[in-house]
Structure 1
């Protein structure tokens, strides 16, 4: 598989994740909105894992790519390529949502293009801790279930449920990031407070990804080594 195809898959996957996931936050009704957003993120990621997993590993998240890098599943050059593709994809996805709101007459029920932020229901310290813990769970699940051949069939289900749970907990607090690219795209077009607080939703998820990579060996056992196929193809 060529690097161009892998990077293209990451760009497309992150674009679709942002468009459908963040789009659900923009379009969801106030009542039941948390559940709607959680299910939207969970279902779209589940679909993307089976669609793009064989091509790029379907990271679609810089924190997952960082975890993959630290566990030897992707090279540093490959990781940089993934990160660029993910941020570009998220930006395009957010641009499409911005057009729908500004030109297409869609009412933005999130009030801020589905951006992440703190202040109303949680402070800076709480947000930092929350994002670390939520991302830790997500990345640990991704790295674990994709390390075991016998679990490959259900990997998408497990990952989809994991991100849905993260959103059930975090949407009402900070909008739930667990993905620096997901936060970057909408903040870029919303500007203002969302852009000034963006650093939290980049740094904290990356720390969560690092912790997940460190804990992974305890979950899989001391004899664990990444599969050669995962190492060569950059799978998560």
Structure 2
């Protein structure tokens, strides 16, 4: 249960900190943190929770990461379902907290006819810069694949594990710097689901892509690291 609570709280923090920065601070008049600030916020959520609870659960905070670690031989299949449920529950509760805070502002309403509604992900008309479904899928696939390569490499027993959290947090920051204009950046199905549940409408109908593409990329990343990059004891 401690592992599941760690994943719950870690994913809650990721969504609250990352999506919260996008909702509250990104476009704040004159002093907004912008794309770079949101990217850094997502990276910091993972970095801080990696050191806070990573030693308890492994610090996945993302269904695609759990699945990719399984593909890479680092995680048990029997724990996948419980981890993913905990991650989704934490993400949805965080989105609910954000919704309640935003509801305290006069005139607040989610306009789910526009890209990025409630920090949701999307493609086509719901991509921040109008990228197609194919472009969005490719971006999410490639970025999640490399995210898994970085995670597996940084946490390899031959690597310097003390700085793994820094490498992973900076990787997520870089991923957001690249892809916020394309999809508003997912690489995390739980993060996408949580915002889409509250946005509803088209963002919710498009959430499938932000499950399929990251999971497919994570599976390939895990497989590639295990078969092509992982160092054996005899090497």
Regarding TM over 0.5, the answer is yes
Q: Does 1:216 align with 2:228?
A: no
1:20 aligns to 2:21 (yes or no): no
Partners of 2:192 and 2:103 lie apart in 1 by 19
Tell me the equivalent position of 2:157.
Answer: 148
Question: What residue number does 2:146 align with?
Answer: 137
List aligned pairs for 1:37-76, cutoff 5 A.
37-76=38-77
Give the Cα separation in 1 of the matches to 2:41 and 2:191. Answer: 14
Corresponding position of 1:113? 118
Q: Distance in 2 between matches of 1:123 and 1:100?
A: 32
Structure-2 change in CA distance of 1:213 and 1:150 (3 Å)? closer
1:193 equivalenced with 2:202 (yes/no): yes
5+ residue gaps, structure 2, are: none
Residue 97 of structure 1: aligned partner: 98
The answer as to whether partners of 2:116 and 2:122 remain within 8 angstroms in 1 is: no
Aligned 8 A contact 1:38 1:168 in 2: yes
Closer, same or farther in 2 for the Cα pair 1:83/1:106, shift >3 Å? farther
CA contact (8 A) 2:26 2:35 kept: no
Aligned length: 221
In 1: Cα distance, 2:209 partner to 2:163 partner: 32
Over 3 Å counting, the alpha-carbon distance change for 1:78 and 1:49 in structure 2 is: same
TM-score, scaled to structure 1: 0.88
Residues 65 and 29 of structure 1: CA distance in aligned 2, closer, same or farther (over 3 Å): closer
RMSD: 2.0
Q: Please point out which of 158, 161, 178 is paired with 2:187.
A: 178
Runs of 5+ in structure 1 lacking a partner?
226-236
CA distance in 2, matches of 1:73, 1:181: 20
Alpha-carbon distance change, 18 to 106 in structure 1, aligned in 2, over 3 angstroms: farther
**Which structure exhibits the higher relative contact order, with contacts defined as CA atoms closer than 8 Å and separated by 6 or more residues?**
1
Partner of 2:26: 29
Alpha-carbon spacing, 1:7–1:129, altered in 2? closer, same or farther (3 Å): same
- Calculate the TM-score normalised by the size of structure 2: 0.88
Q: Report if aligned partners of 1:90, 1:185 keep a CA contact under 8 Å in 2.
A: yes
